[in-house]
Structure formats: C-alpha cells, structure tokens
Chains A and B, each alone.
Chain A
Amino acid sequence: MTNNRSWIPYLLILPSVAFLGLLFVVPLVQTIWLAMSDNGMPSLANAERMVNDINFARSVRNTFLLTIVVVPVQLCIALVMGTLVAKVGRGRETILWIWTIPLGISDLAAGLVWLSILQNTGYFNSALFGLGIIERQASWLSYQTPVALFLAIAIAEIWRGTAIVMVIIVAGLNQVPKEFREAAEIFGAGPWTRFWRITLPLIRPALQSALILRTVLAFEVFAVVYALGGRNFPVLVGEAYYWQNQNQNYGVAAAYAVLIMIISLAATLVYLKAIKVDPERLP
C-alpha cells in the first residue's frame, strides 16, 4: 500500500521546489553569470574590480568583525534569557512577547530608532548634557570616532537580532525532558553542571539552527549600518548596494552578491560540521 504511494511526498513538495527553482535558482544563475562575465564573455574583470576597490578590504573586515562580536554576544544573551524565562511561571507569555518586540520592527526602522538616540541632537547626547557630563553635542557616528560608531552599530544589531535567537533557544529548551534534570539533581549535580552537561548538549539542534540563521543574517547586515553609519562603516551588502545603485555597475554588484553567498554557505558548512547533531535527534 505505502509503496504504491511513494510518489505522494514528492508530489506534495513539487510546488515549493518549482517555486524555488523559478524564483531562486534562475536568478541565482543569472547573478553568477552577471558577476563572472564581461560583455557576454566569461571574465574575472568584475571580481578584480571588486577586490581592488578601496572599500573592499574595509567592508570584508567590518562585516567579519561585526559578525564575530555580535553573534556570540547574542547567543549568550539568548541563553540567559531562555534559562530565566524557563523558571518563570505566571506572566511567561507576556515576558516573551515583550522580548520579541524588536523582531517585529524592520531593520531600517530599528536603525532609525537608534539614530534618533545617538545622533548629535539625539536623546543620548541630551541625557549626557542634562547630567552635565558633556558641554556641547558630541558626535558618536562620524568617521573620526570609529570605535564609538562600531559599538553603536553592534549594540543596535544585538538589540535587533537577539530575539530571533532567543525564540529558537526557548523552543529547544522546551524539548529538554524534565526527567534528565531531576535525575541529575538526585545525583547531586549543581546548576552549572546541569547546564553544561545536560541542557547545552540536548539543545544542540536548536543551537545549530540559531547559529546558522543568525550568522547568515549577520553577514547580510545592511539597513542598520546604513542608517547609523552611512558610508563611514562599509559592509559587504552595503557595497553591493552602492555598486548597483550609485555606480550603476551591475557586474561588480553581482560579484559582491556572489561573494556574500559563498561566505554564508561556508559559514553554514562550518556550523554543520562543528556542532554535530545526532541524526536520531533530527526532526
């Protein structure tokens, strides 16, 4: 009986495969061709142009730096938040709901919110002035204050992107059976041991998805950086945007897009290898 119907699963996923094929694979191939050709001939001219551009090295460095700083911090905060909320009985839903508010705000809007706080005439300066710490407007987002600018962007990104990690972690924590923890408690394991030896290994699949999702998104960071730093803090997607829109050179823009895709795929592979998940625990 089941053998006769072995085609049904394939039939059911056919629409989504066709949809992806049409709207993802075709443009992908076109983008790769756009990046790797020049006047209809295969060529590396665009890639060369990209690598030799003055902002290339800076944008690669900035993007990686931001990812390396932001993702671990977000993961730690999300783990703390998830563990905290697990102990809460009443009001749990309300707390989760409040924590996920940044998730519902668009990137650009989040950037603009932080801009209104950190710009010269923003709330942060007003507060410092009110407390008598500064005598006149200080600028935090200019090319002369790269550290402050980086911190501002990192904080805005952490604020905006932690909720998605937390949602995945909370879902993972919910799946850890109570019995393991109770058994460990009986054998005298303290809270730290329980966390390191039981909770963390058991939420590996959730950690893996959260890390992959968050890292790929971190490599694609753009709107927050654009709102806060403009061109003072070049990042990869930003450069792709400028080559496409300002310089109107679609080839170099496509080269950037392909580079971002390669980096994202590589990061995903690294996570898949580094955080091995027991196949039996896969959904």
Chain B
Amino acid sequence: MKRLMSFGILASTVLAFASPVLAQTVFVSTQLRPIEEATVVREELLQDVGKVDYVVEEPPQFAVRMEAERQAGKHTVSLVGALHGELSPLADKDQLEPLDDLATKLAAAGMPQSVLDLGKLGKSNQQYIPWMQATYVMAARKEALEYLPAGIDVNALTYDQLIAWGKKLQEETGQPQIGFPAGPKGLMARYFQGYFYPSFTGGVVRTFQNADAAAGWEKLKELWTYVNPNSTNYDFMQEPLAAGEVMVAWDHVARLKSAISASPDDYVVFPAPAGPKGRGYMPVIAGLAIPKGAPDAAGATKVIEHLTTPDVQLLTASRVGFFPTLNVQLPEDLDPGVALLAGAVTATQASKDALISLLPVGLGDKGGEFNKVYMDAFQRIVLQNEPITDVLKAQGATMTKLMTDTKAPCWAPDAKSDGPCPVE
C-alpha cells in the first residue's frame, strides 16, 4: 500500500512537471486582462488553434517576467501580446524574432502598410504584428447635451467650446461635470502626447516648451476649473460616468466601453476637441510578437495567423471593443455600445482638421519616464499652480536629456530629425 502510494505521488509529481512541456503554446498578454475578456479570448478567439495557454500579466510584471526569462535563458513564453510601448523595450534589447514573412503575407491580405510599419519599431525587421487597435474618444451622458450652448456641434468641438460647455454644466448643475483619467493607473499622459500637445502646438517633443505650448497650458488651466477635482483619482472613466459623478469624459475606448455598452441609449460618443493646430488624436496599437528562444515558435506563428484572419478580427471587435488592424468592414449587428465607439473613432479620423500623433518610437524602456515629463508638468502647472514658463523650461530640460540618452528621433506630428529629437 505504502509503495503504491509513493508511486502515485511520484507519478503525479512527474506529470505535474511534465504536462506544461507536453502540449501548450504559452501566450502571455497585457491586453484583454479582465476575466470576462480573457474568457472570450480563451473560449472564442483561440478556438480551433490547438492548445494555447492564454496567460494575462499586468504590464510591469510582464516587463519583469520577460527580462527574467531573458537573463535566465529559460524560455516558457512562445507568444506575447502587448501594446506598442510595451514591446518597444523588448525590441530594444533584441529579444523579438523577426516576423517579416508574416508581415508580407498580411500586407497581401489587406493590412495597411502604414499600420504594419508601426510594428517595425524603427528597426529594419518586423518586430511585431499589429493585432488590434483602439483610440481615445469623448463620451457624454445625454442629459449633458441639454447644457450644450446653442450652435455648438458636439462632433466638431473646439477647446473654447468645451470650456463654455463645462462652465454651463457647472453653473446649472452646481458641480464640475467634466472628467479626465488622471489617477494613478489612468492614461492621462496619452492625453498630453496624443491630444493636448498636437492640438495646441502641432508637435509633441519639439514644441514642448514653446509659446504655443504655454498658451495651451493656459487654456487647460481654464478648462480645469470645470473639471471634477476627483479626476486625479480616476483610472477608468467608465466608472465615474456610470456612477453619475461626471457627465462628460475623455478616455480610451476600452475604458469607456462597459458604461456605454451597459446603456448605449444614455450616451453620445464624439471626437476629442480641436485646438488651434488641429484635432490631435492617437491610435493605440496592440501587437503580437514571438520572443527569441520561444519553445513553440511554430505554434505561436499559427496563433498570430489565426488572430489576424478577418473573421477573428471582427469577432474581436464585437466581443471586446478593440478594432481590427485589417482593412475590414465592421458588421451591421455590432454591439450597440461598440458601434457608438466605432462611430466616434471614424468621425475622428474623418474630421477635416484631424492630426494623427503616432506612438513614441525608440524610447526603449524610458517610456514611463517620458510619460512622467508630461504628468509632472501637469501636476506643477495645473494642480500646484506654478508659473507655466518656469515649469516648461525645467521639464523641457528633463525631456532634452531623455531624448539625448535614448537617441530617439522625432515621430509624427513632429518634423523628422537627424539625431535625437530636439526640444526647441
């Protein structure tokens, strides 16, 4: 009996250690982490591609895990799904397999070359395959439209009009009703890089401390008097919108989706406001990449091919609200909330004054510190009321050092540079 038991223990131990090696392609993703979304990935999106173990990881832990596997030389992850900015440090350390064959195939299947090129991360080889895309929009509860000053088209809003709207909302409801995700996990830094700076200055890095930027910050301070002070605690705007704490909010489509999908009839979704230099907007790209030394590169390639087929891309859009990177038409019977968001995305891209701001390239693992430059400027100028020119000068020096250290060249909408992107 005893022998039988010890044999059983031995056998189960061996099995426990052996089973992960036997079958599965480990797919680690920083995207689609909430349990509902992960279940959709596991049960719907990854059906019929063999055994895939879909593991989700918070972005910081993802960075640590990839670095640990690189240093240990022991790889368990065959496929990674992460944002452009999260894949950039991996490409920087030469940790990703080139995927040029796949890229050629996808270009033939109708993935726009401009989107595919983002996956090169400024290198000569394809580092990742664009998987899904999203962007940021504004959403408002329908009641808020009653306070919209006459003659303003919500789909072609300017900053002055947004300020006028915010003022009226505050005066008539007694509370500041505009919200921004400026909390610890909010995406406020992207607002500055993709929306505020391009709209007011037509640049992101070059124009960081010029006169246009100072004028823009002045406007933002004016707007901020009508912004709910709890904004510095908001991470996902869907929560304060649904709770009725704010009526108008700017955020990533995926972070507005649950409120809007829950009651699509209560909301309008529209493009972010335009400034003197245009209507800045920033696409968000999530990519799929294969780490060097992946135990099952063949399986990973199969998963990438599967996830970038038109059917799966459309399924992804309707189930989780990230839009296809392939050039495909969204179906009629889309979830009404997702359809509202998709409408605003199309309206943004199609607006006459649209000004695209690309994702930072070449910052390596300094993406976090790049965000910090903008957030520190925001904290000092708007929250602590420090003099704008002094702050911009100090933060501009930090930015210059960051650019020189990383040698990152300028990206759109900044004009191209020969060396590191200069702060003018």
On chain A, the residues within 8 Å of B63 by CB distance are 248
Q: How near does chain B come to A81, taking the closest CB pair, in angstroms?
A: 33
B146-154, B328-336, B367-375: which lies at the A interface?
Answer: B367-375
- Contacts A120-B245, A137-B175, A230-B184; is A142 near B372 (CB within 8 Å)? no
Q: Which residue of A lies closest to B182 (CB)?
A: A231
Q: How near does chain B come to A252, taking the closest CB pair, in angstroms?
A: 9
On chain B, the residues within 8 Å of A247 by CB distance are 368-369, 371-372
- Contacts A120-B245, A249-B369; is A143 near B60 (CB within 8 Å)? no
Q: How near does chain B come to A112, taking the closest CB pair, in angstroms?
A: 13
Which residues B403-421 have CB closer than 8 A to chain A?
A: none
Which residues A226-283 have CB closer than 8 A to chain B?
A: 226, 229-232, 242, 244-249
- How far apart are the CA atoms of A226 and B232 in the complex, in Å? 12
Which residues A208-232 have CB closer than 8 A to chain B?
A: 226, 229-232
- How far apart are the CA atoms of A232 and B182 in the complex, in Å? 10
Q: How near does chain B come to A6, taking the closest CB pair, in angstroms?
A: 40
Q: How near does chain B come to A229, taking the closest CB pair, in angstroms?
A: 8
B214-222, B306-314, B376-384: which lies at the A interface?
Answer: B376-384
- How far apart are the CA atoms of A121 and B240 in the complex, in Å? 10
On chain A, the residues within 8 Å of B183 by CB distance are 230-231
- How far apart are the CA atoms of A189 and B232 in the complex, in Å? 56
Asked whether B212 is an interface residue with its Cβ less than 8 Å from the other chain, the reply is no
Cβ contact within 8 Å between B245 and A137: yes
Could you count the A-B residue pairs with CB atoms below 8 Å apart for me: how many are there?
61
On chain B, the residues within 8 Å of A145 by CB distance are 229
- Contacts A54-B380, A231-B184; is A144 near B371 (CB within 8 Å)? no
Residue from A135, A143, A246, A248 in contact with B383 in the complex, judged by beta carbons closer than 8 Å = A143
Residue from A120, A231, A242, A249 in contact with B232 in the complex, judged by beta carbons closer than 8 Å = A231
Asked whether A136 is an interface residue with its Cβ less than 8 Å from the other chain, the reply is yes
Asked whether A139 is an interface residue with its Cβ less than 8 Å from the other chain, the reply is yes
Which residues B351-400 have CB closer than 8 A to chain A?
A: 365-369, 371-372, 376, 379-380, 383
Cβ contact within 8 Å between A121 and B243: yes
- How far apart are the CA atoms of A230 and B379 in the complex, in Å? 13
Cβ contact within 8 Å between B230 and A141: yes
Cβ contact within 8 Å between B230 and A246: no
On chain B, the residues within 8 Å of A143 by CB distance are 229, 232, 383
Contact with A along B145-184 (1 / 0, CB 8 A): 0000000000000000000000000000011000000011
Contact with A along B237-261 (1 / 0, CB 8 A): 0000001110000000000000000
Residue from B233, B366, B372 in contact with A141 in the complex, judged by beta carbons closer than 8 Å = B233
Cβ contact within 8 Å between B232 and A54: no
On chain A, the residues within 8 Å of B380 by CB distance are 54
- Contacts A121-B245, A137-B245, A244-B60; is A230 near B233 (CB within 8 Å)? yes
Secondary structure of the B contact surface, majority rule? helix
- How far apart are the CA atoms of A139 and B175 in the complex, in Å? 11
On chain B, the residues within 8 Å of A229 by CB distance are 233
On chain B, the residues within 8 Å of A141 by CB distance are 230, 233
On chain B, the residues within 8 Å of A226 by CB distance are 184
- Contacts A246-B372, A248-B367; is A54 near B230 (CB within 8 Å)? no
- How far apart are the CA atoms of A136 and B172 in the complex, in Å? 13
Q: How near does chain B come to A26, taking the closest CB pair, in angstroms?
A: 16
- How far apart are the CA atoms of A139 and B366 in the complex, in Å? 35
Cβ contact within 8 Å between B245 and A136: no
On chain A, the residues within 8 Å of B60 by CB distance are 244-246, 248
- How far apart are the CA atoms of A231 and B182 in the complex, in Å? 9
- How far apart are the CA atoms of A120 and B246 in the complex, in Å? 11
- Contacts A226-B184, A247-B368; is A54 near B229 (CB within 8 Å)? no
Q: Which residue of A lies closest to B176 (CB)?
A: A139
- How far apart are the CA atoms of A202 and B205 in the complex, in Å? 65
On chain A, the residues within 8 Å of B379 by CB distance are 54
Q: How near does chain B come to A214, taking the closest CB pair, in angstroms?
A: 26
Most buried by B among A120, A121, A137, A244: A120
- Contacts A54-B380, A246-B371, A247-B369; is A230 near B245 (CB within 8 Å)? no
On chain B, the residues within 8 Å of A248 by CB distance are 60, 63, 89, 365-369
- How far apart are the CA atoms of A242 and B369 in the complex, in Å? 10
- How far apart are the CA atoms of A135 and B380 in the complex, in Å? 32
- Besides the contacts A245-B60, A248-B89, what 6 more A-B pairs have beta carbons closer than 8 Å? A121-B244, A135-B174, A141-B233, A231-B232, A246-B60, A248-B63
Closest 7 CB pairs of A and B: A142-B229, A247-B368, A245-B60, A248-B368, A144-B229, A230-B184, A230-B233
Q: Can you show 19 pairs from A to B with CB atoms below 8 A apart? A: A54-B380, A121-B245, A137-B175, A139-B228, A139-B229, A141-B230, A141-B233, A142-B233, A143-B232, A144-B229, A226-B184, A229-B233, A230-B233, A245-B60, A246-B372, A247-B368, A247-B371, A248-B89, A248-B369
A residues whose Cβ falls under 8 Å from a Cβ of B? 54, 120-121, 135-137, 139, 141-145, 226, 229-232, 242, 244-249
B residues whose Cβ falls under 8 Å from a Cβ of A? 60, 63, 89, 174-175, 183-184, 228-230, 232-233, 243-245, 365-369, 371-372, 376, 379-380, 383
